Structure 1
């Protein structure tokens, strides 16, 4: 591919397909089997597996970066029932959890469109014809295109700034004549004050950018353009191989310095768009976290792609096992519902436990349209089959199948 840092020449594409054909086929078969099982499973089981997959993926992405985010803390934070102060890793995991839920509700073509990607990553695109805006120069920097009616205001501002500078210089000259020994110090203090005022100016875009540390040589627009080219070239490859190539290019190029975890969600969206995972958004980061392979830019391209394909298969295998655990837990709890009256809502409470990673008394009462006291009585009826309590408290408790 046409890139300085990342490339896949046309002559090497066929060799890559041949070397990774077996791994791509194995990953595609595993993902397709899990997706088909979700389609055929009961609605409550399928929804529960999807919601739990989002939470598992958010936790795994934090683990891949060396952070620690307990799953219980994540689901409690998502429900607004924190038992301890949220950490930075927990906040990142919660943001990724919300992002995955949002992406799972949207159409893949809408997510992977260039305009939507630029908007999500905060990368400026070419302006619309006839409208002033911001454009990207050939070097990748962003320049401002001003309308004719904006020039007068800018000229007035420049004149006012020049007048202020003149007054400051006159004051400095007067100070120099008054006390020449401190002239250089006074000039330095004036320049420092101006710099600090511009740095802390939240009303301007430049001032807001100064609040965060950024690499001046980081060419986000250029990296994003190269990643888009790689994503486009992957359309002629098998679905699993195209997703692995898109994820590998994202990890290599790093098109976003603020949302690096989104590459896993975009690669999973590629699988959805190609029809390989139409019923769920695969947890690719979870597969990479659970497997033995660790991605590194020092590895050869074939090794990296083969390792990512193996992670895809690992994610599908974990999904199969989690669906088995949900089915078993539901079967055990439904045994407590045998011999109940026809108007009993105990079976519906079991489905609430299966469909949600975390259940509270208030949540169950709202979904079942009963009183909290009735929910407390049904929880006692579940007995030993009741899922694990997550908070460790006697009040404001929560349960979940972990």
Structure 2
């Protein structure tokens, strides 16, 4: 997509602020109410909502791309207890889960700094790009540095031609068919190219495996997104975050980390004071709502839809906090009259803090045997959370 098409002038900024004022205010109020509830809630419940939100957000981002990411597989993979081989979608969701946890621990200003953004996206600083693109020879003349794949081609073309000539001379000496000699030469060149591209023994070889579009201009796209992020400082917080997310989805500053835009938009909300104690689950709100973002829509329509996603994200957080509070109260009633060293309250807290709990996961966290966990699950009786897998083995329970 051409990044030059994204135009956001001062007149368009004023029109957008007036058209989406009501939606921005509603989104800001919803997010502020959720943040205040989490601030006043018990630390265990607030932490449970935050940790569960990270998992739900990672699953939702994969779902927005049209792929499938079962929540139980994601949680088991995160705990290192995979039941089956993780798929590509599970690996992407796990990477996003780790990314959100990392961003939640850092200050928003540090996350959104230009150096941190460039480092996260693997984009060199302008000075470093100049040094890499232009190297000065002892005579003072500038020399253009070729791309790795171009250097491989040039360095090996002579060797390939020499191998082909040697093979051709050998075939002539053996009075072979010239057609087969050409095929053998082609196979030899192909083998050498594949060996060069699949060299995992060095950093240069591993870097060559990462194929990138040379005309993508990730640095230019990121610079344009940073400019739009700076232009949004004069807008209301929710509107600025929606504009940052819309610009990220339109400009696509990263070829392979498009989901980061949702985390950066949530970080903008934290930076502007609407989400001081949590990282909003913007992807969950977008997936739960009816709006689907498209670059062919008008800018006010896109922004209004993203603001609606912010409201849905806040509503999901409120509902999740209610579910956890009620479930914890019901389960703690089964813990009354227990001994002081009973592990049952810890199991209840584990249900609150994790989206899914399995026997193996609980045994590892509580440092007891699987038989002890099975006995405690029976003691919970009717207050036991719902079983989600529908299986007789490798079952999982969660507060949904």
For the superposition of Structure 1 and Structure 2, which TM-score range results when normalised by the shorter chain? 0.7 to 0.9
- Range moving further from structure 2, 250-259 or 4-13: 4-13
1:340 corresponding residue in structure 2: 338
Question: Are positions 1:57 and 2:57 aligned together?
Answer: yes
What SS is found at the alignment partner of 1:135? Answer: helix
Instruction: State the shift of 1:358 in Å.
Output: 3.0
Between the aligned partners of 2:275 and 2:169, the Cα distance in structure 1 is 75
Which TM-score applies when normalising by structure 1?
Answer: 0.82
Distance 1:113 1:302, change over 3 A: same
| Alignment of structure 1 residues 175-190 onto 2, 5 Å | none
- Range moving further from structure 2, 302-311 or 83-92: 83-92
2:307 corresponding residue in structure 1: 309
What SS is found at the alignment partner of 1:4? Answer: helix
1:248 corresponding residue in structure 2: 246
Between the aligned partners of 1:184 and 1:372, the Cα distance in structure 2 is 67
What SS is found at the alignment partner of 1:334? Answer: helix
Aligned residues of 1:172 and 1:183 also touching (Cα < 8 A): no
- Range moving further from structure 2, 82-91 or 245-254: 82-91
Instruction: State the shift of 1:342 in Å.
Output: 4.7
Taking only aligned residues, the RMSD between alpha carbons, in angstroms, comes to 3.6
Question: Are positions 1:197 and 2:195 aligned together?
Answer: no
Instruction: State the shift of 1:66 in Å.
Output: 0.8
What SS is found at the alignment partner of 1:280? Answer: coil
2:148 corresponding residue in structure 1: none
Between the aligned partners of 1:91 and 1:252, the Cα distance in structure 2 is 25
Between the aligned partners of 2:245 and 2:55, the Cα distance in structure 1 is 20
Question: 1:159-190 CA distances to partner (integer Å, 9 max, x unpaired)?
Answer: 99898689669759968997999889867865
Instruction: State the shift of 1:85 in Å.
Output: 3.6
Aligned residues of 1:23 and 1:306 also touching (Cα < 8 A): yes
Aligned residues of 2:35 and 2:277 also touching (Cα < 8 A): yes
2:37 corresponding residue in structure 1: 37
1:23 corresponding residue in structure 2: 23
What SS is found at the alignment partner of 1:145? Answer: strand
Instruction: State the shift of 1:111 in Å.
Output: 1.3
Instruction: State the shift of 1:265 in Å.
Output: 0.6
Q: Which one of 270, 273, 276 corresponds to residue 275 of structure 1?
A: 273
Question: Are positions 1:4 and 2:4 aligned together?
Answer: yes
Between the aligned partners of 2:195 and 2:164, the Cα distance in structure 1 is 23
Between the aligned partners of 2:335 and 2:77, the Cα distance in structure 1 is 31
Between the aligned partners of 1:126 and 1:196, the Cα distance in structure 2 is 37
Instruction: State the shift of 1:243 in Å.
Output: 0.8
2:288 corresponding residue in structure 1: 290
Q: Which one of 385, 388, 391 corresponds to residue 386 of structure 2?
A: 388
Between the aligned partners of 1:351 and 1:71, the Cα distance in structure 2 is 19
Between the aligned partners of 1:334 and 1:48, the Cα distance in structure 2 is 16
| Alignment of structure 1 residues 78-117 onto 2, 5 Å | 78-117=78-117
Between the aligned partners of 1:160 and 1:89, the Cα distance in structure 2 is 38
Instruction: State the shift of 1:77 in Å.
Output: 2.4
1:131 corresponding residue in structure 2: none
1:145 corresponding residue in structure 2: 135
What SS is found at the alignment partner of 1:68? Answer: coil
Between the aligned partners of 2:88 and 2:161, the Cα distance in structure 1 is 47
What SS is found at the alignment partner of 1:259? Answer: coil
Aligned residues of 1:268 and 1:282 also touching (Cα < 8 A): yes
Aligned residues of 2:72 and 2:396 also touching (Cα < 8 A): no
| Alignment of structure 1 residues 256-267 onto 2, 5 Å | 256-267=254-265
Instruction: State the shift of 1:114 in Å.
Output: 1.4
Aligned residues of 1:45 and 1:326 also touching (Cα < 8 A): yes
| Alignment of structure 1 residues 349-388 onto 2, 5 Å | 349-361=347-359, 363-364=361-362, 368=366, 374-388=372-386
Question: Are positions 1:73 and 2:63 aligned together?
Answer: no
Aligned residues of 1:390 and 1:398 also touching (Cα < 8 A): yes
Instruction: State the shift of 1:73 in Å.
Output: 2.3
Question: 1:3-36 CA distances to partner (integer Å, 9 max, x unpaired)?
Answer: 6121101222111111111111110110110011
What SS is found at the alignment partner of 2:133? Answer: strand
Between the aligned partners of 1:214 and 1:107, the Cα distance in structure 2 is 31
Between the aligned partners of 1:184 and 1:366, the Cα distance in structure 2 is 65
Q: Which one of 329, 332, 343 corresponds to residue 331 of structure 1?
A: 329
Instruction: State the shift of 1:44 in Å.
Output: 0.9
- Range moving further from structure 2, 253-262 or 207-216: 207-216
For structure 1, which runs of at least 5 residues remain unmatched after alignment? 129-133, 137-141
1:135 corresponding residue in structure 2: 130
Between the aligned partners of 1:82 and 1:51, the Cα distance in structure 2 is 19
Question: 1:253-285 CA distances to partner (integer Å, 9 max, x unpaired)?
Answer: 111111111110111111111121011111101
